[in-house]
Amino acid sequence: MKRLIAILTILSAFIPVMATDAERIDVKEIIFGHLKDSYEWHVFSTANRDYVIDLPVMLYSKATGWHFFMSDKLEENGSYDGFHITKEGAHAGKLVETLPDGTELKPLDLSLTKVALGVIINCLLLCIIIMCTGRWYRHHKETDAAPRGFVGLIEYVVAMIVDDVIKPSVGKDYKRYAPLLLTMFFFILVSNIMGLIPIFPAGANVTGNIAVTLFLALITFFTVNIFGNREYWKEILWPDVPVFLKAPVPLLPFIEIIGIFTKPFALTVRLFANMTAGHAIILALTCVIFITAGMGPLIGVPMTGLSLFFMVFMNCLELLVAYIQAYVFTMLSAVFIGLSRQEHHDEKKKEITNN
């Protein structure tokens, strides 16, 4: 216990030197700076400079055409070639173009941002994991002993998701949708875990970006509504309810059609909100250390210890949340797909009768 207090005292003494002045700690900027997307990847900082990875910026303006440059050009004077990052309005944090008459124009932005690069890195990592796992099966027979270690863990997770989630939720066509649902599960899981690691090439808040979660939800949305069978659309457009609920005023069909669009919205917000909240709490607890460091050892030492304890606790909790959110997203997607592949009531009755 004495050693722990001594360590915290030394840490509390050095933090003011690192932070220089507690009043300079902008908690809001630190939290939102991590959660928001950016045109560069901040790796680490020293007292003299920030070490960042400059990313390519690709813009198309209706007024001036295509523009290609690296993000370090924006650091020199805050703008480059008529473009600057706006800090207010609907396009806050994005590049806008200032025309000669003073008006601002939002260009088509195809830049490789931090989140976009994070998605690429996570996809490559996922491909490596799957190919390494598949390599073991190519060199072994079905009669061989079950794999151990990392390959055994992947096999266990795949079997669990297929047997406990996909198969009972989708139904007899589960093999058709299993590759898609497993890919979504592992991509979300890898992205969630990589977002908790603060060291490059990890650290990108991929699943905390609503554009990424919306894209994943749209995959489920199009899969459900494109491959939905006749019974699925019948339940939406002409459900088995009293006629006055669906004609002449299509009250229930209208509600069902709204439900088609609320399902992907729920998937989007659920994943985005949970991952964003976890990152914000961890960053806020980290900022407490630097804020209380300038208040002296009497306050700084216990608050530093308390913050470190809760940071470790929250990181462990976020590891659990990373898995749970991937599991829930996959389960809900499987349920929605299963509802779109439901059988006719007469066929279900025959199947029950035969059994």
Q: What is the mean pLDDT of residues 120-133?
A: 93
Q: Please count the helices (runs of H) and the strands (runs of E) in the chain.
A: 12, 9
- Taking 90 as the threshold, does the pLDDT of residue 72 lie above it? no
The tokens describing 30, both together, are: 């630190």
How does residue 240 score in pLDDT terms, banded at 50, 70 and 90? confident
Q: What is residue 17's predicted lDDT score, i.e. its pLDDT?
A: 40
What share of the chain has pLDDT > 70, as a percent? 83
Q: What is the mean pLDDT of residues 216-240?
A: 90
- Taking 60 as the threshold, does the pLDDT of residue 221 lie above it? yes
Q: What is residue 6's predicted lDDT score, i.e. its pLDDT?
A: 43
For residue 52, list its beta bridge partners.
Answer: 42
- Taking 60 as the threshold, does the pLDDT of residue 8 lie above it? no
Sign of CA dihedral 21, 30, 54, 205: positive
- Taking 60 as the threshold, does the pLDDT of residue 348 lie above it? no
Of the ranges 24-28, 265-269, 314-318, which is most confident?
265-269
Q: Would you list the DSSP string of 174-240?
A: HHHHHHHHHHHHHHHHHHHHHHH--STTS---STTSHHHHHHHHHHHHHHHHHS--HHHHHHHHS-S
User: 68: alpha, beta or left, given left = phi > 0 and alpha = psi -120 to 50?
Assistant: beta
Q: Among 314, 315, 293, which Cα is nearest to 304's?
A: 293
For the stretch 159-194, pLDDT in tens is 999 999 999 999 888 999 999 999 999 999 999 999
Three-class HEC string of 18-74: HHCCHHHCCHHHHHHHHHCCCCEEEEEECCCCEEEEECEEEEEECCCEEEEEECCHH
